[in-house]
């Protein structure tokens, strides 16, 4: 059977590269993706886009497409449904109950706390993804005979924590920086106030962590350390994205879009690579069609339905929120699928539970 066509420049990095896919592919999706959300910031800053337009465009072009890719690896997959279908149904029922129940019974009380919890859960979700990419790059380094020490790996995991959470804490200094204003509504995201003395402590830790990372890389390269570049670019781009969103952008919607769209693009790049590799393996090994419809579309080079699913899904989910801006309940479909994504996505990238992941990401034969 014919192999699935590859996207130009997306050939596997192979065993002698520190990149997950290849240098051009990784740079576009995992590093240069920071440039795209910056366009949103620029459009908002010069008055070409309102906060609502930024939010709607981000949801349709990035957030919902990345969201539906989670389903291609879980609920659209026959084997995963058989293994985890009941768990997914229970989780979905719990999420729907929490959001709809609090919206109906306590729209100005409990529901506001639920919204706030979703925002912070999403922030944690972003940070965990970057930690996951760190581990992927370190697996690549290990295949080249240059694995980081366990201590180094742990320190850079904490570095990601610092450069991700410190900018958020800095925003806590001002209530206005944590307030969303859109469609005539004002929503404050609850947070503990940050005393001035702690602000300086957070900034000192933040600056010290960045300085220590730079010094470590300079010294390591001077001593002949190899294969640091791919992971270093990831760390630098994460630092830049979170730093801009937390320290330079005042509008909370735009700040959220900048840091989340960056995450979305990374995710789209990784899942496309994962799904294409899985399609190639299924084609080569003669796995029957129908086990996973999106994977079968890739096997048969049916790019149009795959693209329509990826982007059309967002239109369906976001349409109620855009069409009824002043109706609070119109946001429920969007919030529910986002929460469900957080839950499922936290499971499907566990190598212990999904041993085929390493194969589909070409981390081993």
pLDDT at 4: 34
Q: What is d(CA 271, CA 223) in angstroms, rounded to the nearest whole number?
A: 36
Task: With a cut of 90, say whether residue 181 has pLDDT above it.
Answer: no
Q: Residue 340, Cα to own-chain centre: how many angstroms?
A: 14
CA dihedral of 44, 47, 49, 54, whole degrees rounded to 10: 20
- Give pLDDT tens digits for 250-265: 888 889 888 898 889 9
Residues 253/37, Cβ–Cβ less than 8 Å: no
- The CB-side HSE value for 2 (13 A sphere, CA atoms) comes to 7
Q: What is d(CA 203, CA 175) in angstroms, rounded to the nearest whole number?
A: 18
pLDDT at 206: 97
Classify residue 19: in a domain, yes or no: no
In the chain, the DSSP E strands lie at: 179-182, 185-188
Classify residue 7: in a domain, yes or no: no
Indicate the DSSP class of residue 188: E
- Rg of the chain on CA atoms, in Å: 21
Domain region containing 178? 56-360
Give percent of the chain above pLDDT 90. 53
The model's confidence at residue 6, banded by pLDDT at 50, 70 and 90, is very low
Classify residue 254: in a domain, yes or no: yes
Classify residue 27: in a domain, yes or no: no
Classify residue 266: in a domain, yes or no: yes
Number of independent structural domains in the chain: 1
Task: With a cut of 50, say whether residue 2 has pLDDT above it.
Answer: no
The stretch 309-338 carries a mean pLDDT of 84
Classify residue 30: in a domain, yes or no: no
Q: Residue 354, Cα to own-chain centre: how many angstroms?
A: 19
Mean pLDDT over each residue of the chain, to the nearest integer: 88
Q: What is d(CA 299, CA 286) in angstroms, rounded to the nearest whole number?
A: 11
Residues 354/134, Cβ–Cβ less than 8 Å: no
Cα angle at 262 between 257 and 268, to 5 degrees?
120
- Give pLDDT tens digits for 219-231: 999 999 999 999 9
pLDDT at 18: 87
Q: What is d(CA 121, CA 345) in angstroms, rounded to the nearest whole number?
A: 12
Task: With a cut of 60, say whether residue 19 has pLDDT above it.
Answer: yes
* Closest-CA residue to 137 (of 11, 14, 20, 262): 20
Indicate the DSSP class of residue 21: S
Q: What is d(CA 306, CA 294) in angstroms, rounded to the nearest whole number?
A: 6
Q: What is d(CA 183, CA 339) in angstroms, rounded to the nearest whole number?
A: 23
Q: What is d(CA 365, CA 21) in angstroms, rounded to the nearest whole number?
A: 14
- Give pLDDT tens digits for 330-358: 889 999 999 999 999 999 998 888 888 98
Classify residue 179: in a domain, yes or no: yes
* Closest-CA residue to 84 (of 348, 340, 271): 348
Q: Residue 274, Cα to own-chain centre: how many angstroms?
A: 15
Classify residue 162: in a domain, yes or no: yes
């Amino acid at each position: 059977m014919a192999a699935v066509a590859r996207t130009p420049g997306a050939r596997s990095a192979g065993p002698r590269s520190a990149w997950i896919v290849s240098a051009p592919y990784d740079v576009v999706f995992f590093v240069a993706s920071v440039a795209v959300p910056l366009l949103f910031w620029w459009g908002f800053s010069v008055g070409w886009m309102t906060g609502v337009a930024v939010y709607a465009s981000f949801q349709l072009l990035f957030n919902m497409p990345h969201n539906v890719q989670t389903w291609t690896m879980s609920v659209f997959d026959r084997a995963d449904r058989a293994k985890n279908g009941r768990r997914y149904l229970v989780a979905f029922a719990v999420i729907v109950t929490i959001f709809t129940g609090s919206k109906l019974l306590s729209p100005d009380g409990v529901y506001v706390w639920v919204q706030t919890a979703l925002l912070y859960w999403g922030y944690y979700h972003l940070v965990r993804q970057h930690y996951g990419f760190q581990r992927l790059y370190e697996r690549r380094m290990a295949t080249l005979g240059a694995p980081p020490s366990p201590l180094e790996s742990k320190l850079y995991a904490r570095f990601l924590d610092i450069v991700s959470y410190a900018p958020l804490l800095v925003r806590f200094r001002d209530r206005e920086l944590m307030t969303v204003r859109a469609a005539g509504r004002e929503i404050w995201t609850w947070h503990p106030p940050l005393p001035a003395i702690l602000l300086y402590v957070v900034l000192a830790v933040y600056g010290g962590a960045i300085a220590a990372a730079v010094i470590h890389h300079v010294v390591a390269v001077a001593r002949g350390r190899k294969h640091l570049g791919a992971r270093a670019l990831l760390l630098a781009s994460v630092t830049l994205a979170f730093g801009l969103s937390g320290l330079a952008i005042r509008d909370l919607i735009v700040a959220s879009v900048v840091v989340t769209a960056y995450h979305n693009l990374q995710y789209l790049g990784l899942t496309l690579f994962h799904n294409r590799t899985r399609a190639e393996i299924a084609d080569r090994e003669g796995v029957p069609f129908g086990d996973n419809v999106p994977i079968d579309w890739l096997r048969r080079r049916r790019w149009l339905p795959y693209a329509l699913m990826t982007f059309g899904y967002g239109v369906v989910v976001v349409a109620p929120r855009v069409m009824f801006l002043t109706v609070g309940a119109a946001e429920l479909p969007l919030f529910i699928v986002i929460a469900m994504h957080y839950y499922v996505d936290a499971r499907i990238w566990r190598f212990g539970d999904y041993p085929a992941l390493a194969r589909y990401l070409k981390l081993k034969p």
